[in-house]
């Protein structure tokens, strides 16, 4: 039961262009969403998050969009840089009860930014 | 703030042996989580502590797995009678509240041979 799905295993973009990473979820109880970046042999590093009361959150080159009706979110990176090459994970959580703070992750998307 | 620290970084063990991993969270964080990540997958939730109380355990956490967080500080994850299927990256994270400062450690990579 994959509640968070990243259907694109990999994405390749040219330096300076936009990278768009997509994520779909099925659990309507999810109300907080996060994106993490992961390099090999390191733990995931937090990038940006969004609450379900918003539809957009921006932080520098990173913007996350949330479409609740479609249960879809996306991460936009503009402009893309070679140092952005990593695995990107989408994660979701729901407030309340003992699951507070537990994250459910997607499978990840490998982003490669070519110089 | 030195981040979330996990030890050891790598562990190779023979099948059937017991192993123990340690996680030191960010000091002011009262929530601590354990996740497991296998190749090609995202991290999967194992268990969660708020202070010293273990509030939730995943079905993934079989009877061979036990986690503790004495005094609400560091945490240990023990795997008894390891199996080859236990080979994975074990990640620890800590947070103060939902979405705030949810920080992962670098993980412990376990290889069972």
Give the pLDDT score at B67.
96
In a structure prediction context, what are the per-residue pLDDT tens digits for chain B, which is 113 residues long? 579 999 999 999 999 999 999 999 998 888 999 999 998 899 999 999 999 999 889 988 889 999 999 988 999 999 999 999 999 999 999 987 655 567 899 999 999 99
CB atoms A4 and B42 under 8 Å: yes
Nearest to B56 among A46, A95, A102 (CB): A102
Closest CA to A11 of A73, A92, A86: A86
Nearest C-alpha of chain B: how many angstroms from A115? 25
User: CB of A105 within 8 A of CB of A23?
Assistant: no
Q: Which residues of B touch A48 (CB under 8 A)?
A: none
Total count of residues recorded for chain A: 115
User: CB of B35 within 8 A of CB of B44?
Assistant: yes
User: CB of B107 within 8 A of CB of B38?
Assistant: no
CB atoms B55 and A107 under 8 Å: no
Q: Encoding tokens for residue A50? A: 């969004």
CB atoms B109 and A42 under 8 Å: no
| Tens digits of residue pLDDT in A68-96 | 999 999 999 999 999 999 999 999 988 65
Nearest C-alpha of chain A: how many angstroms from B25? 13
User: CB of B13 within 8 A of CB of B110?
Assistant: yes
Give the pLDDT score at A97.
43
Give the pLDDT score at B64.
96
| Interface list for A 75-104 with B (CB within 8 A) | 89, 91, 93, 95, 98-104
User: CB of B57 within 8 A of CB of B47?
Assistant: yes
Does A41 touch chain B if contact means CB atoms closer than 8 Å? yes
- E strands, B14-107, are 19-24, 31-37, 44-50, 53-57, 65-68, 75-79, 88-95, 103-104
Give the pLDDT score at B1.
54
Look over chain A and give the mean of its residue pLDDT values, rounded to a whole number.
92
Give the pLDDT score at A82.
97
Residue of B nearest to A100 (CA): B98
Give the pLDDT score at B98.
56
Residue of B1, B25, B42 to mutate, interface with A, max A Cβ within 10 Å: B42
Average pLDDT rounded to a whole number, residues A27-32: 90
Nearest to A44 among B43, B48, B97 (CB): B43
Q: State how far the alpha carbon of A74 is from the alpha carbons of A9, A21, A90, B48, B70, in Å.
A: 14, 5, 9, 28, 39
As a whole number of angstroms, the distance between CA A111 and CA A35 comes to: 13
Q: Strands A109-114 and B31-37, how do they pair?
A: unpaired
CB atoms within 10 A of CB B25: 26
CB-facing half-sphere around the CA of A92: CA atoms within 13 A: 24
DSSP state of B84: G
């Amino acid at each position: 039961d994959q509640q968070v799905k990243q259907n694109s295993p990999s994405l390749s973009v040219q330096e300076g262009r936009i990278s768009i990473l997509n994520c779909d979820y099925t659990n309507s109880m999810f109300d907080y969403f996060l994106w993490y970046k992961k390099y090999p042999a390191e733990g995931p590093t937090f990038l940006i998050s969004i609450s379900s009361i918003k539809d957009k959150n921006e932080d520098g080159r990173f913007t996350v969009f949330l479409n609740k009706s479609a249960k879809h979110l996306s991460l936009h990176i503009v402009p893309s840089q070679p140092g952005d090459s990593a695995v990107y994970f989408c994660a979701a959580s729901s407030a309340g009860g003992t699951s507070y703070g537990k994250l459910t992750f997607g499978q990840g998307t490998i982003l490669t930014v070519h110089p | 703030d030195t981040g979330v620290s996990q030890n050891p970084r790598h562990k190779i063990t023979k099948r059937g042996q017991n192993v123990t991993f340690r996680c030191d969270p960010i000091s002011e964080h009262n929530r601590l989580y354990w996740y497991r990540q296998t190749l090609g997958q995202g991290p999967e939730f194992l268990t969660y502590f708020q202070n010293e109380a273990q509030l939730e355990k995943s079905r993934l956490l079989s009877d061979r797995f036990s986690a503790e967080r004495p005094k609400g500080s560091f945490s240990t994850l023990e795997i008894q009678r390891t199996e080859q299927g236990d080979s994975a990256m074990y990640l620890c994270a800590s947070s103060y509240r939902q979405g705030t400062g949810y920080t992962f450690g670098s993980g412990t990579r376990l290889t069972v041979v």
